[in-house]
Every structure is written in structure tokens, then in C-alpha cells.
Amino acid sequence: MEIEIKKKVLNANDSKAEENRQRFSKDKIIAVNMMASPGAGKTTLILSMLEELKNLKINGKKSQYSTAVIEGDLASSIDTDKIKKFGWKAVQINTGGGCHLTAQMITKVYPELKLKGPGIVFIENIGNLVCTAEFDLGEQIRLVVTSVPEGDDKPIKYPAMFQNADIVAINKADTLRHFNFDVKKFEEGVRLINPKVKIFTVSAYTGMGVHELL
């Protein structure tokens, strides 16, 4: 019974996710589902990418991308307030204890952003490396963020999270000299699960490597 209920929940979510995907496509919006454990630096990395996008030039001209953030948290609006403080458009989702965002939650808040394409919306999912991987939100890009202090064994311990990632970012690279983190070992672990994924070593704090993510 429990398995059957889970299947029904996931099927309903997938249906709503496809609606979201079609809406994003129609609006010429790229949706990025950012997943990571708590403290990996998701919000800081989003802010760093937003700054890069603001200064991004295409064929010598400044890009005209619209940008916004959908913030997911169990409670509070700390990260949303931080993003708005820097002048970016953001909307909050509080799950009230739920360990992941759902496609329906995205459907509900997306219109509040009033984005005009072409543009990018960053969806900061709830901080964990388990159930967020199971729920499609309608995103076109899955970005998994890990950080140097967490250790290099995460791909082996949480394979489902890395299996369907489009991009993996190793954040807090500026701290590598302080931790026993083997970048090569981490990358090998990821590619055992997901051979074609793109892997970048970045520091959201210093801005190192962030441009390559865009």
C-alpha cells in the first residue's frame, strides 16, 4: 500500500511538473533546480550567479536576461530577504516541515514573479540529499551543489542525487587547503553514476569559477 501511494504521489507530481515545463518553455524561461545539503552555499552561489548574469555579455552586448529566485525552506524567509536585499526578485515557499519542494508549489508561486523571457529562474530546493532528487519540478536544469567541508564521499553515499544531475558544482573551493577533500576521487565517484554530467569547482564566496557555470 505504501509503495502504491508513493507511486500515485509521484505520478501526480510528474504531471504537474510537465505543465510547469511547458509554461517555462512558453515564457522562454530556463528553470534551474538547485539541490544540496544544508550549508553547502546554495544561496550564496545563486547570488554570485545573478551577479555574473548581470554583467554577462553576448556578442559584445550586455545580456537582457530576466532573473528571479524561488526560495524553498522549512520555515522563515531569511534567504529570500537576503536575495531581495541585494535587489533581486524572489518569492518564498515554506514547506512547514516537508523535506522537498513539489511541482504544485512551483505552479502556485511562479506567476508572482511576472518574469518576461528570455530569463532564468533559480529554484533553491530544501537542503537535503535524499527526497529532493525524487521530485521533478518542471526544471530544465538540475544543479547539484556540494561543498568541500562535506567531504568527497557524497556521490557514493547519495547516488540518486547525482544520477540525474546536469551540472555538479563543488563549492567552497577556497577552503580546499584546510580539508582532506580529493577532487579527483569525488569526480570519479560522480562519473561512475553519471558519466556525462558537467562538474565545476567553484567558490561562491570569492567568485572563482562561477562564470563557467553559466
| Ranges of each domain in the chain | 2-213
Instruction: Name the CATH architecture for the domain at 2-213.
Output: 3-Layer(aba) Sandwich (3.40)
pLDDT in tens, 140-199: 999 999 999 999 999 999 999 999 999 999 999 999 999 999 999 999 999 999 999 999
Residue 6 has what pLDDT?
A: 61
Cis peptide bond N-terminal to 159, omega within 30: no
> What local confidence, expressed as pLDDT, does residue 115 receive?
95
> What per-residue string of b and e applies to 20-44 under the rule 16 or more CB within 10 Å gives b?
bbebbeebebbbbbbbbbeebbbbb
The per-residue pLDDT for 148 is 98
> Considering only CA atoms, which of 93, 96, 162 is closest in space to residue 121?
93
Quote the pLDDT of residue 4.
60
Parts of the chain with a pLDDT under 70: 1-8, 58
Determine the pLDDT at residue 40.
Answer: 98
